[in-house]
A and B are shown apart, each in its own frame.
Chain A
Amino acid sequence: MGQILEIRNLALGYPGLTLFRGLSLDIAAGSTTAVLGANGSGKSTFVKMLLGITAPLAGRMSWPNGAPREIGHLAQLTEFDRRFPIRVWDLATMGAWKRLGLRRRLDAQMKSQVQAALETTGIADIAYMPLHELSGGQLQRALFARVIMQDAPLILLDEPFAAVDQQTEAHLLTLIDRWRDEGRAVVLVVHDLSSVLDHCSHALLLGNGEATFGEVETVLTPERLVAQNYLSESQAEWMFRSPRREVAHV
Chain B
Amino acid sequence: MFELFAEMWSFAFMRRAFVTTTVLSASVAPVGAFLILRRLSLAGEAMAHAITPGVVIGFVVAGLSVFSLLIGGLIAGVGVAALTALLARNTILRSDASLASLYLIALAIGIFILSAAGSAVPLKSFLFGSILGIDDASLVLVGAVATVTLISFAYLLRPLIISTCDPVFFEAQTRRPWLIEQAFMLLLVLNLLAAFKTLGTLMAVGLMILPATSARYWSSTITGQLFLGFAFALASCWVGLTLSYLLPDTPSGPAIVLTAGGFFALSALLGPLGLGGRLTRFSRKSPQALQTHSTKEKTQ
- Contact residues of A with B, CB < 8 Å? 51-53, 71, 73, 75-76, 78-81, 84-87, 90-91, 94, 97-98, 100, 102-103, 125-126, 129-133, 135-136, 146
Task: Give the residue of B162, B171, B221, B291 whose beta carbon is less than 8 angstroms from that of A87.
Answer: B221
What is the chain B residue whose CB lies nearest that of A48?
A: B172
Residues of A within 8 A of B295 (CB): 125
Q: How many whole Å from A246's CB to the nearest CB in chain B? A: 34
Query: A141: shortest Cβ distance to chain B, in Å?
Result: 13
Residue of B nearest to A82 (CB): B165
A81 B287 Cβ-Cβ under 8 A? no
> Contacts A75-B169, A85-B222, A102-B158: A135 and B290 contacting too (C-beta < 8 A)?
yes
Partner of B172, one of A75, A85, A90, A91: A75
The residue from B168, B219, B221 contacting A80, defined by CB atoms under 8 A apart: B168
Q: Which of A76, A85, A97 contacts B220 (CB 8 A)?
A: A85
Question: How far does the Cβ of A214 sit from chain B's closest Cβ, in whole Å?
Answer: 27
With both chains docked as a complex, state the minimum distance between the C-beta of B152 and any C-beta of chain A, in angstroms: 11
Q: How far is the CA of A76 from the CA of B167 in the complex (A)?
A: 11
Interface residues of B in 273-293 (CB under 8 A from A): 273, 278-279, 282, 287, 290-291
Closest chain A residue, CB of each to CB of B283: A132
Task: Flag if A86 contacts B172 (CB, 8 Å).
Answer: no
Per-residue CB contact flags for chain B residues 215-258 toward chain A (1 = under 8 Å, else 0) read 01001111011000000000000000000000000000000000
The contact sample of 28 A-B pairs, CB cut-off 8 A, is: A71-B172, A73-B172, A75-B166, A81-B165, A84-B37, A84-B161, A84-B164, A85-B37, A85-B216, A85-B219, A85-B225, A86-B165, A87-B221, A90-B161, A90-B222, A97-B173, A98-B173, A100-B158, A102-B155, A102-B156, A102-B158, A103-B154, A125-B298, A129-B294, A131-B165, A132-B220, A133-B282, A135-B287
Q: Which residues of B contact A103 (CB under 8 A)?
A: 154-155
Residues in chain B near residue A78, CB distance under 8 A: 168
Give the shortest distance, in Å, between B17 (CB) and chain A (any CB): 32
Q: Indicate whether B159 reaches chain A with its CB closer than 8 angstroms.
A: yes
With the chains together, A87 CA to B222 CA distance in Å?
9
Chain A neighbourhood of B221, CB < 8 A: 85-87, 90, 130
The answer to whether A81 touches B158, judged by C-beta atoms less than 8 angstroms apart, is: no
| CB neighbours of A52 from chain B (8 A) | 172, 175
Q: Closest CB-CB distance, B90 to chain A, in whole Å?
A: 13
Residue from A85, A97, A133 within 8 A of B290 (CB atoms)? A133
* Distance A52 CA – B169 CA, assembled complex (angstroms): 12
B residues less than 8 Å from A71 (CB atoms):
172
Which one, A79, A86, A98, contacts B161 given CB within 8 A? A86
A127 to B291, CA, bound (A): 14
A51 to B170, CA, bound (A): 11
Using Cβ atoms and an 8 Å threshold, which residues of chain A touch B291?
Answer: 135
CA distance A86 to B225 in the complex (A): 10
Extra pairs beyond A85-B222, A132-B282, A133-B278 (13, CB < 8 Å): A51-B171, A80-B165, A84-B161, A85-B224, A86-B221, A97-B173, A100-B158, A102-B158, A102-B159, A126-B294, A132-B220, A133-B294, A135-B287
Is A53 in contact with B172, judged by CB distance below 8 angstroms? Answer: yes
- Docked Cα-Cα span, A103 to B175, in Å, equals 19
Interface string of B12-49 (1 = CB under 8 A from A): 00000000000000000000000001000000000000
* A97, B158: Cβ atoms closer than 8 Å: yes
User: How far is B222's CA from A51's CA once the two chains are assembled, in angstroms?
Assistant: 28
Most chain-B CB neighbours within 10 Å: which of A51, A80, A81, A84? A84
When chains A and B are docked, how far (Å) is the Cα of A85 from the Cα of B278?
14
* Given known A79-B166, A129-B294, contact A86–B173 (CB-CB < 8 A): no
